[in-house]
Amino acid sequence: MAVYEQIGKGYDLTRHADPEIAKQLADYLQLKSDCLYLDVACGTGNYTLALAKYDGVWHGVDQSKQMIDAAKNKSNAD
């Protein structure tokens, strides 16, 4: 787990949700506004937030406090 605490420090500088992949995932999952979704190992929430823009209520979990804190910060900024 310590490795993800280190990776998490600069993770979002080089990694972002690919819009085309997010769209394909949203289509595949057939997201519905009245459904709850869980992103396991969400990291900093890049895809969690990208998919939430399509539909549904999304929650993410991750074992890294560094990563989940970044996801929470991004989530609160939207």
Q: Coil, helix or strand for 17?
A: coil
Instruction: Please write the tens of the pLDDT for every residue from 10-68.
Output: 777 788 999 999 999 999 999 999 999 999 999 999 999 999 999 999 999 999 988 99
CATH number of the domain that residue 8 is part of:
3.40.50.150
What is the pLDDT at residue 1?
Answer: 56
Domain count, the chain: 1
What is the pLDDT at residue 76?
Answer: 86
Residue type for position 17: A
Q: Which domain holds residue 15?
A: 2-77
**Which stretch of DSSP H or E encloses residue 7?**
helix 2-8
